Structure 1
Amino acid sequence: MVVHFDVLRSKAVNAVKQALKTDRKIFVIAQRDVFAEDIKREDLYKVGVIAEIRQVLRTPDDELRVLVEGLDKAELLTFTDSDTDDAYFEAYVEVVKPPKRRKASKAEIEAMSRSIKKEFERYASLLPRMTGELVKSILCQDDPEELFENIVFNANFQSADKQELLEKNDIIDKLSFLLAVLVKETEVLAIENDINSQVKENFGKNQRENILREQMRVISEQLGEEDEDEDYRTRILKLKLDEKINDKLMREVDRLRSLPESSQETFVIKNYLDTILELPWNKESKIKVDIKKAEAVLEKDHFGLKKVKERILESIAVNAIKPDVTGQIICLVGPPGVGKTSIGNSIARALGREYVRVSLGGVRDESDIRGHRKTYVGAMPGRIINAMIQAGTKNPLILFDEIDKMSNDFRGDPSAAMLEVLDSEQNKEFRDHYTEVPFDLSKVMFITTANTTETIPAPLLDRMEVIEITSYTREEKFHIAKEHLIPKQLKKHGLKASQMKIDDDGIYKLIDSYTKEAGVRNLERNIGSLCRKTAKEIVSGEAKKIKFTAANISKYLGHEKYIKDVKSEKDEVGIVNGLAWTAAGGVLMPLEVLVLDGKGGVTLTGSLGDVMKESAGIAVSYTRSVAKKYGIDLKFVKNKDLHIHAPEGAVPKDGPSAGVTMTTALVSALSGKKVRSDVAMTGEITLHGKVLPIGGLREKTMAAYKEGMKKVIIPAGNKPDMEDVEDVVKENVEFVFAEDLETVLEHALVQ
């Protein structure tokens, strides 16, 4: 059985605290005289219960309320006491083993159980607080032990009777004594009800209620207590809620008034009402409509992220025109470490909204989102309602982090519960299982983050406006390090700017040789490492300040962890500098073709995927179609073998954008013409030699610039994407927009 009770005396409080520090077990035993203060052995009964503490709460009166589960019945042997400030009773007990059941016929036990059920049904009918559902559940018990325990637990017996029932061990003795107690209590209740009926006849309903209320008020004043029920009523009326919600809450207050203070249901209702009253029903933050200030906040906190910033500024502009606009739902998708989560706080500050972050990674239970029904023990509201309570306003910015990492199991699908939350048409009346009343989420601005959209269910993805956040380029990482990461790490490690400096070449060295990532987390870790090494040398007196350069960084961080991309250093036959996209950014990917004597076979190596293999087939077919133009002997189909290879064979590669690179390498190898080593290219091809657009242009062009390419050949269809290419790349690299392979070969082959 699980029960809760208030702990008032200091020694009992100390005992609970001590139990929490050890195995959470306490010995619960009743006093013969509840008012006795100086407890001796004879003041206590002989038998009690060993219980395990499940939960400890503080009541509004600053008292301890303990939820315990009974484990074993035990007999008190002796106990010790001390007079120190943190004194508590330490008991020595012996567990009471269940006795062998006395031989009794099933018919005898069944007859006794039936008599008890009949008498309990009569007893419950005279006790108003016994609900029909509770009585029904007890009467359905077939096991005599469970029947005994449930009746004793829920009945309002005298303490002495309950103690004697506890001390009984044999089932026949238990049932016999329980029946006797039930008969006695039923008769007493019947007499009490007769007396109450006679008294009620002498008072009108209103007069009686007024007198009782006045008595309660006077008693509360004498005890220095507030009328809790009236406090709840006043607070509910102040909220000016919808009539249906108001009526429901008032009914809960009425139920609370009718229950005894020690009832578990009282505790449940108070928690429920407190949760409802903490919700921001009518509180709103004043949304900022100053676009320039908002833009300044976003620019100060984050470098890059142009699409995200533009979308937020659009939101502010719309809010300036139409203040009652409903909340927006944006999904930021990108690799780890690019600032998806951290920008949420900046957006909230720019908009003047309260900010709450809710992590969804690993959530697999639907009740985490919608909450538990309050009838369950330990029920609580879901993460959405908790986030609204935490925000304190009805129009905050809530960031759902890692929405792509939710899963589901037999307990439900949390992504299905999120459908209502992230639907601006439905979330006007969001219902949490715990609160059971509709709450308006339409004014909340929801931002979600994910590393990929592939694991997000299609219906959920359809409700969000997806903004792709690509990996940071080399130049962006440089500015982020210089303007944000270095000052942040200096402050974190207590260093002054004059004590540690990293020059520009040193920052580029960190980016190129010690990190290979989409974001800047490892870059920040390396800067932090340099700060720690600086602090060590300053404290040890080896130096007063340190300046890190490209030349001396390896002395502090060790050898370079990443080497530069492999590339063709001189004009060669059959080797072409291609461009590829990875999660960590663009890379230079050279392709090699070797012509061998053979029978027309084609060998592909370098962990190439199916799409790249198909591109190789297209490249061979196109090369055959233009063989005469480039002086290629068509007999190569019968007497030559081709070997196409992409270096770094351990790294899987796939995608159609290597088509132009393969074709150029094939034409070069078969014609004997060299390919320019300062030219890089990317693009998909067709059988007729057309060059089709590709993705990841921004990252690929940055990789070409970083490796010193003078010319980059890209599909003509990617011309509009040049807006996303960094200015420093456009200033230092010549771009050729190719519609067909003739243009590619014209610029790539050494004439």
Structure 2
Amino acid sequence: MVEEIDTTEIKDELPLLVLRGLVVFPHMVIPLLVGRDKSVEALEEAMVEDRLILLAAQKDETVEEPETEEIYDMGTVAQVKQLVKLPDGTIKILVEGLKRAKIDEFLQEDPYFKIRLQEIEPEEKESKELEALMRSLVNRFEEYVKLNQKLPPETMMTVANVEDPGRLVDVMVSHMSLKVDQEQEILQAVSYKERLKQLYKLLDEEIEVLEVKDKINSEVREQVEKRQKEYYLKEQLKAIKKELGQDEEMSDEIEEYRTKIEEADLPEEVEEKALKEVDRLTRMPPMANEGVVVRNYLDCILDLPWNEKSQDRLVLDDAEEILERDHYGLEDVKDRILEYLAVRKLTDEMKSPILCLVGPPGVGKTSLGKSLAEAIGREFVRLSLGGLKDEAEIRGHRRTYVGSRPGRIINAIRDAGTNNPLFLLDEVDKIQSDFRGDPAAALLEVLDPEQNDTFTDHYLELPFDLSDVIFITTANVTHTIPGPLQDRMEVIEIAGYTEEDKVKIAQEHLLPKQIENHGLSEDQINVSENAIRKLIRNYTRESGVRNLERKLAGVCRKVAKEVVKGKERLSRVTVQNVDSYLGIEKFNYGEVDEESQVGVATGLAWTKSGGDILKIEVSVVPGKGKLLLTGKLGDVMKESGQAALSYARSKIEEFELEEDFHENYDIHIHVPKGAIPKDGPSAGITITTAIISALSGRKVNSKVAMTGEITLRGRVLPVGGVESKVLAAHRAGIETVIMSEENEKNLDEVPDNIKRDLEFKFVEHMDEVTDTALLKEE
């Protein structure tokens, strides 16, 4: 327990705690949070002495560190009853106000305020006038308590028996919600008479505000009661009419629904279902929640294009012109699309195959869908499936609650306005599944031509014919697409663009588009072909052209800034000054041009962004025969490293290796760019070449890149992604590409100009790889 302080023994020098937005009165017990440095110091000084401290408010509560002139000179001496230090460094205290005191002099300002105080005690004696003022104030406060709903009736108990006029005022103020300046005025008042009069005036103002507020609340309450009464009387009137046999006419809303259903020319099953729902609506109370569900359902049925079709415009020459206009290259994909259109022109009964465009980001998969829609004259609808987990997003929610809605397939058809749009399902390889179902399984019905003529959405509960819809899907990879779903689609691979393709695309499509988007004209900016080539080589590394377009946009922004600043002459972007527009180069084009080295081989890898080259480094150091693999490699690449080492041990005599190298040396295999996960069966021959090079001391030709897996007997196995890997080799400046003989057939996918620039070595055995890749000893 904290000792009670004898208020007659209060020292005239005390630390000062400055309050922000708060005034403490005598006899008030209140918790405070202390966080400012000076306040904490003052509090610690008070705790060392006799727990006494002066509490005074600052004039402007927005000031963080008030000066002496910004502090009210009248405050309250208080005793710290409790103190608790909080984890965030602030201190929570419980203080009790003891008596008024005036700041006579500031003795110090740092590290805390210390003042000399002067106690303020009125010298008035009891009088009839004081007693009358106190009684009037108590009566007025009782009215205030009755009007203020925040104060309990028991509040009057705390003031009813207070006989001291000063204490009466202090207790009343502690129960009122006053502004800081109003409270400070009462605290500043010295005489009892002045305090009582000031508080009486404030009570009058507060009571007047509360009476106006109570009047407004009463008027609002009367209006609500009036509406409820009208509703009750209307319901009574309906019941009386029904008893008298006077049927009420169908409401305008119900009649409107019936008219719309009759004029909509809906299929027989759909019309029957809709009219049944209208009948249900007539038997429901107007404000029932179920009525909202029925209205939304009827609106959905009437909004769907049950019989609205787009007429196909199947002119192959026009379609070919549109595809050539919007996309450069991609000849195989364009041919397949034109074949598809030709077959549709010859037969209307053909079930539409589902085309799946697979390729890295930025190669134009989505825009191909838009071009196809324009070519055949159909509405274009795009739905992104990336990250979709809930099966209800495809099939819809059942109509069991107010927030239910149809699935995204039906919603998209409704937005299209026709029942045969071209429907693009984007990112089909990124569908996920959890406890809410498997959206990929739900798509099986949507994409199956044998089933989707009666696709039933859970919300709609009616079959909707999707057989005339042309579905096209896009994906970055195929291995993450579920097997049954992939089985329903015809996969068309889009490997990426060659450097020449990118140059043409930039000149004919991307640059004119960005010049227009940035408010420029061809008289203000000129980007040379060699500058574009440098952008492709040194500022982007991708199979598509998305980053290339961003870099061209960056150049246009810089030129736009120059134009706004007043530059009038043509801005020429050349190889020499392109770095002044885009900063330092991001990539080292042709890094394979470095000197051939021992233990460093170049492999070809496939990534989600297309093909890439991969350096594999091998270091041989004295040790105990350990094999160390680093570079964030997956299990398949680790196994390739072990198989490569076993093969190298079988070639000790051929490459004149030390017989016991596997016991006396540690072999460290490292693939740089360690932050990027790497895995796959394509690095076997590359790892083997690097190991043999490191053990034999023979250099690996830096102009040679390879891809393929190896068996323990040295046989070279075929791999996938040949087109992407060859494009990456050409992009990096490789001269010779080694791959399995079984991959020769895959070169048909590679553009002819790329094949002319590269030399291909098709091998069956690892011996052929080392003959080509390892340089002869000097």
When normalised by structure 2's length, the TM-score is 0.64
Q: Which residue of 2 aligns with 1:485?
A: 510
Residue 495 of structure 1 is matched in structure 2 by: 520
Aligned to 1:127: none
Give the corresponding residue for 1:228. 256
Alignment partner, residue 706 of structure 2: 681
Q: How does 1:59-78 map to 2 (within 5 A)?
A: none
Q: 1:427 aligns with which of 446, 452, 456?
A: 452
Pick closer, same or farther for the CA change 1:92–1:588 going to 2, 3 Å: same
Query: Which protein is bigger by CA-based radius of gyration?
Result: 2
Q: Alpha-carbon deviation of 1:471? A: 4.2
Could you tell me which amino acid in structure 2 is paired with residue 449 of structure 1? T
CA contact (8 A) 1:566 1:588 kept: no
Are 1:163 and 2:287 counterparts? no
Question: Kindly tell me: are residues 193 and 581 of structure 1, through their superposed partners in 2, closer, same or farther at Cα, counting changes over 3 Å?
Answer: closer
CA distance in 2, matches of 1:259, 1:228: 17
2:217 to 57, 71, 93: 93
- 1:515 paired residue among 530, 534, 540: 540
Write the distance in 2 (CA, Å) between the matches of 1:164 and 1:247.
Answer: 36
Judging changes above 3 Å, is the alpha-carbon distance between structure 1 residues 705 and 381 closer, same or farther for their aligned structure 2 residues? closer
Task: Pick closer, same or farther for the CA change 1:259–1:665 going to 2, 3 Å.
Answer: closer
Q: CA 1:743/1:366 → structure 2, altered by over 3 Å: closer, same or farther? A: closer
User: CA separation in 1, counterparts of 2:668 and 2:753?
Assistant: 37
Amino acid at match of 2:725: K
User: How far apart in 2 are the matches of 1:665 and 1:448?
Assistant: 41
What does residue 644 of structure 2 align with?
619
CA distance in 1: counterparts of 2:608 and 2:239, whole angstroms = 79
Compared CA separation, residues 737 and 403, structure 1 to 2 (3 A):
closer
Q: Work out the CA distance in 2 between the residues paired with 1:395 and 1:670.
A: 65
**8 A contact 1:586–1:703 mirrored in 2:** yes
What is the DSSP-based 3-state SS (H/G/I as helix, E as strand, rest coil) of the residue aligned with 2:369?
helix
Aligned-pair CA distance for 1:620: 2.7
**Are residue 505 (structure 1) and residue 557 (structure 2) matched?**
no
Cα deviation 1:135-161 (Å, max 9, x = unaligned):
xxxxxxxxxxxxxxxxxx9xxxxx979
How big is each residue's C-alpha offset from its partner over 1:265-304, in whole Å with a ceiling of 9 and x where there is no partner?
Answer: 7665554444323322223222233333222222221234
Counterparts of 1:565-576 in structure 2, within 5 Å, are 566-567=591-592, 569-576=594-601
Alpha-carbon contact 1:235-1:277 (below 8 Å) kept: no
1:592-613: per-residue Cα shift (whole Å, max 9, x none)? Answer: 3344445544443444433233
Aligned ranges 1:206-245 → 2 under 5 Å: 228=256, 231-232=259-260, 234-236=262-264, 238-239=265-266, 241-242=267-268, 244-245=269-270
1:232 partner amino acid: K
**In structure 2, C-alpha distance between the alignment counterparts of 1:639 and 1:412, rounded to whole Å:** 56
**Contact 2:618–2:668, Cα closer than 8 Å, also in 1:** yes
**Structure 1, residues 148-176: CA drift from partner, whole Å, max 9, x if none?**
xxxxx9xxxxx97943999xxxxxxxxxx
- In the alignment, is residue 332 of structure 1 matched against residue 357 of structure 2? yes
Structure 1 residue 91 displacement after superposition = 9.4
1:195-227 Cα offsets, whole Å, 9 max, x none, are 42xx89xxxxxxxxxxx99xx9xx99xxxx996
Alignment of 1:406-417 (within 5 A): 406-407=431-432, 412-417=437-442
State the AA in 1 paired with 2:650: S
Q: For 1:642 and 1:247, locate their aligned partners in 2 and report how far apart those are by CA, in whole Å.
A: 78
Matching residue of 2:422: 397
Give the alignment's Cα RMSD to 1 decimal.
Answer: 3.9
Give the Å deviation of 1:553.
0.8
Residue equivalent to 2:57: none
1:689-708 Cα deviation digits (max 9, x unpaired): 21111223223223333333
The amino acid across from 2:755 in the alignment is K
- C-alpha change, 1:688 and 1:526, in structure 2 (3 Å) is same
- The separation in 1 between residues aligned to 2:281 and 2:630, in whole angstroms, is 76
**Does the 8 A contact of 1:517 with 1:583 survive in 2?**
no
Equivalent position amino acid for 2:654 in 1: K
- What secondary structure, in the 3-state scheme, does the structure 2 residue paired with 1:280 have? coil
Unaligned stretches of 5+ in structure 1?
1-75, 80-89, 98-152, 154-158, 167-180, 201-211
Please give the alpha-carbon distance, in whole angstroms, between the structure 2 residues aligned to 1:91 and 1:713.
92
Partner of 1:247: 272
Tell me if structure 2 keeps the 8 A contact 1:594–1:669: yes
Q: Secondary structure at the match of 2:592?
A: coil
- Per the alignment, in what secondary structure is the counterpart of residue 631 of structure 1? coil
Q: Is the 8 A contact 2:404 2:459 kept in 1?
A: yes
Are 1:725 and 2:750 matched, yes or no? yes
Between the aligned partners of 2:533 and 2:635, the Cα distance in structure 1 is 36
Report the equivalent of 1:283. Answer: 308
- Cα 1:617–1:265 change in 2 (3 A) is closer
Number of residue pairs matched?
Answer: 565
Q: Quote the Cα distance in structure 1 between the aligned partners of 2:622 and 2:257.
A: 97
Give the equivalent residue in structure 2 for 1:133.
Answer: none
SS of equivalent residue, structure 1 residue 309: helix
Q: 1:246 to 1:161 in 2, by over 3 A?
A: closer
Question: Which of 327, 342, 347 matches 1:317?
Answer: 342
CA–CA distance in structure 1, aligned partners of residues 215 and 350 of structure 2: 65
> CA distance change for structure 1 residues 538 and 729 in 2, over 3 Å: closer, same or farther?
same
In the alignment, the residues of structure 1 paired with residue 630 and residue 479 of structure 2 have an alpha-carbon distance, to the nearest angstrom, of 29
Aligned to 1:60: none
Letter in 2 for 1:234: E
Is contact 1:505-1:549 (8 Å) kept?
A: yes
Q: What TM-score do the two structures reach when normalised by structure 1?
A: 0.67
For 1:732 and 1:413, locate their aligned partners in 2 and report how far apart those are by CA, in whole Å: 47
Quickly say closer, same or farther: Cα 1:486–1:163, change in 2 above 3 A. same
Q: How does 1:119-268 map to 2 (within 5 A)?
A: 162-163=228-229, 195-196=244-245, 228=256, 231-232=259-260, 234-236=262-264, 238-239=265-266, 241-242=267-268, 244-254=269-279
SS at match of 2:217: strand
What is aligned with 1:302?
327
Please give the per-residue CA displacement for 1:514-570, whole angstroms capped at 9, x wherever unaligned: 223343222211111111111222232335211212221111111112234643623
The one-letter code matched in structure 2 to 1:732 is D
Counting only pairs closer than 5 Å after superposition, residues 46-57 of structure 1 correspond to structure 2 as none
Mapped to 2, the partners of 1:526 and 1:378 lie a distance apart of 45
The residue type paired with residue 93 of structure 1 is: N
Displacement of 1:320 after TM fit?
1.9
- Per-residue CA shift, 1:669-698, capped at 9, x if unaligned? 433433333322222112222111122322
Distance 2:473 2:596 in 1: 49
Residues 592, 703 of structure 2: 8 Å contact kept: no
Give runs of aligned pairs for residues 648-727 of structure 1, distance below 5 A: 648-727=673-752
Matches within 5 A, 1:415-454: 415-453=440-478
- 2:655 is paired with a residue whose SS is coil
What is the Cα deviation at residue 486 of structure 1? 0.6
Query: Match of 1:56?
Result: none
Q: CA deviation at 1:485?
A: 0.9
Letter in 2 for 1:737: F
What is aligned with 2:495?
470
Structure 1 residue 500 displacement after superposition: 1.5
How far 1:440 moved relative to its partner? Answer: 0.7
CA distance in 1, matches of 2:704, 2:314: 48
Cα distance change on mapping 1:271 and 1:588 into 2, 3 Å = closer
Unpaired segments ≥5 residues, structure 2: 1-209
Identify if the C-alpha distance between structure 1 residues 739 and 410 changes in structure 2 by more than 3 Å, giving closer, same or farther: closer
Bigger mean CA offset, 553-562 vs 365-374: 365-374
Question: What is the alpha-carbon distance in structure 1 between the residues aligned to residue 745 and residue 766 of structure 2?
Answer: 20
CA contact (8 A) 2:526 2:572 kept: yes
> Does the aligned pair in 1 maintain the 2:740–2:764 contact within 8 Å?
yes
CA contact (8 A) 2:498 2:731 kept: no
